[in-house]
Copies of this chain bind each other. A is one copy, B any other.
Amino acid sequence: MSIADRKEREKEQRQRDIIDAAEKLFFSRGYDNVSMEEIAEEVELSKGTLYLYFKDKEALFFAIVLRGARILNAKYSECSRLKITGLNKIRAMGHGIIEFSQGYPNYFRMLSYSGSERFCNVDNDDAKEILELTNRNISLMREAFEQGMKDGTVRDDINPLEMALYLCITSLSIMNLDPRWKKALKAAEINQDRFIEDFRRFIGPSIESSRKANAAFSTSDM
């Protein structure tokens, strides 16, 4: 029994070693510019061996993305457990995404890339788990919106799930700018961290409760 256990552990370690090697190379040179042969060299195995552990290159990629997705989900869960108002939970989650994108920029980039057209056909276990984690994040944010609606800190005229989606999607797109927008920012001499900070100030009024003060200037038909 112990031998089978050890073999199991060794197998998992090999798998981790392969992911580590691939991660190192993908992070530094990008998924499309790294060959399986190079990953094999990095981890000191033959190319064929990689395929004993991963169905194909995409599966290896998604194993890495999954690591990132787990980190992000852990942050969201943390925020959701705080004993604060709904609005503040949402703020905390926003801060969480920023921390993630700055603390793990490569995971963040790959998480975004994994959602691009390039990978729209993939269907493996890790991709399913990533989807699952994504859905859980949305739910956590939806719950924060629902709480905020109850405690009066968040506007209550839009479906909380929709708001959660808006906030997730827009936040991610602001933090993972494509090269064209980055160039535009640079040309305008706007620092990227500053840009992200200002976004919180920009998006605030779309979230916060201000119906009463705002009633005279109804925005419902924008």
Residue of B nearest to A208 (CB): B219
Residue in B closest to A188 when the chains form the complex, CB atoms: B161
How many copies of the polypeptide does the oligomer hold?
2
Binding-face segment, A1-9, A16-24, A74-82, A110-118: A110-118
Which stretch from A44-52, A97-105, A130-138 is at the chain B interface?
Answer: A130-138
CA of A199 to CA of B173 in the docked complex: distance in angstroms? 15
Interface residues in A114-162 by Cβ distance below 8 A to B read: 115-118, 120, 130-131, 134-135, 138, 155, 158-159, 161-162
Q: Which of A185, A205, A209 has the most CB of B within 10 A?
A: A205
Chain B contacts for A199, CB-based, 8 A? 166
CB–CB B117/A30 < 8 A: yes
User: Is the beta-carbon distance between A201 and B184 smaller than 8 angstroms?
Assistant: no
- Residues of chain B within 8 A (CB-CB) of A178 are 115-116
